[in-house]
Amino acid sequence: MAARYFFKATPQIEADRTLLRFNCYEEYLDSLATSQDACYLQSVDVARTIANLGYRSSGETLSRKQFEKRLAAVLNYLYPPYKAYELSSEGLVAPDADHFIKELSARERANRIGVLSTIVFLRAFTNAGIEISGYIDYTERLTNEDWKPIFAGKKILMPKKSDLGFYHWKSGDVVSNDSCNYKVLQHPQKGLLFQNRFDRKIINPDPMSTPGQNTSRKRIYSKLYELCIIFDHVVRQRI
């Protein structure tokens, strides 16, 4: 199974989808020209020059460089290049490594190929001694970060404000974010829930409840963190 990584389109990419109808920059300029240009100028090059200078659009007129950059961004979003996954943990996890790191290493391949979607809950202390906690989309962080220093024991995985959930125990700041694999839901009775984007199953992190269909919860005892809990969700094909 090929790896599946889905990202939200930015408002700019959504707006630039209209550029897909042009095969080249010259066609884009031609679309800005008017019928009067064809009648009075009688020169395609002159009409394109006038359009390029911004005289034929009430909004923004793209330069060639801007046009090519934005069109490339849209194409890259719609048709992302295939990249074979690489196991960052291979050959780096020492026999005496922390148990939590070994557990993450064992799940790396399954998360990269998309058959497993793991959420990690951590309670940890910063270098300043301040406690933070958070829910981490393991697959997303694997995709966007260099994990070799973490698996080699040179760096510690820490919750971020960009993760699924983040809580700063000193300031009281609470942040939640959707990820490429999960939507964050706030249920009036059940509280914080995570919905998998691929099979739409709900993961319930409440320790007093079952974690959900096709999902298991496991507490990991680690010397690096106050508390580690791993939620493993086996991804089923959407019906």
Residue 227 covered by a domain: yes
- Considering the domain architecture, whether residues 198 and 157 belong to the same structural domain is answered as yes
State the chain's mean pLDDT as an integer. 84
CA distances from 5 to 128, 145, 180, 206 (A): 35, 14, 7, 27
Residue 5 covered by a domain: no
Closest by Cα among 70, 82, 69, 72 to 5: 82
pLDDT in tens, 56-85: 555 577 888 888 888 888 888 777 665 556
Domain that holds residue 218: 99-234
Q: Which of 78, 113, 137 is the last residue of a domain?
A: 78
Task: Say which DSSP state 224 is in.
Answer: S
Kind and range of the H or E run holding 183: strand 182-187
Tell me the pLDDT band of 6, cut-offs 50, 70 and 90. Answer: very low
The Cα 92–Cα 111 span in angstroms is: 18
Residue 39 covered by a domain: yes
Number of domains in the chain: 2
The mean pLDDT value for 170-178 works out to 90
Residue 198 covered by a domain: yes
Residue 138 covered by a domain: yes
According to the model, what pLDDT value does residue 2 have?
Answer: 42
pLDDT in tens, 103-120: 999 999 999 988 999 999
- Considering the domain architecture, whether residues 46 and 118 belong to the same structural domain is answered as no
- Considering the domain architecture, whether residues 34 and 113 belong to the same structural domain is answered as no
- Considering the domain architecture, whether residues 111 and 219 belong to the same structural domain is answered as yes
Residue 228 covered by a domain: yes
Helices (H), the chain: 11-15, 25-32, 35-36, 44-52, 64-78, 99-113, 138-144, 148-151
Q: What is the DSSP string of 123-180?
A: EEE-TTS-EEEEEEEHHHHHHHS--HHHHTTSS-----TTSSEEEETTT--EEE---S
* Burial (0-12, 13-18, 19+ Cβ within 10 Å), 11: exposed
- Considering the domain architecture, whether residues 61 and 151 belong to the same structural domain is answered as no
According to the model, what pLDDT value does residue 106 have?
Answer: 95
- Considering the domain architecture, whether residues 116 and 16 belong to the same structural domain is answered as no
- Considering the domain architecture, whether residues 28 and 136 belong to the same structural domain is answered as no
According to the model, what pLDDT value does residue 96 have?
Answer: 93
- Considering the domain architecture, whether residues 165 and 207 belong to the same structural domain is answered as yes
- Considering the domain architecture, whether residues 145 and 187 belong to the same structural domain is answered as yes
According to the model, what pLDDT value does residue 22 have?
Answer: 85
Quote the longest CA-to-CA distance of the chain. Answer: 80
Q: Around 200, how many Cα atoms within 13 Å sit in the side-chain half-sphere? A: 2
Higher pLDDT: 50 or 127? It is: 127
The structure's pTM equals 0.65
- Considering the domain architecture, whether residues 140 and 221 belong to the same structural domain is answered as yes
- Considering the domain architecture, whether residues 163 and 74 belong to the same structural domain is answered as no
pLDDT in tens, 37-58: 555 555 556 656 665 655 555 5
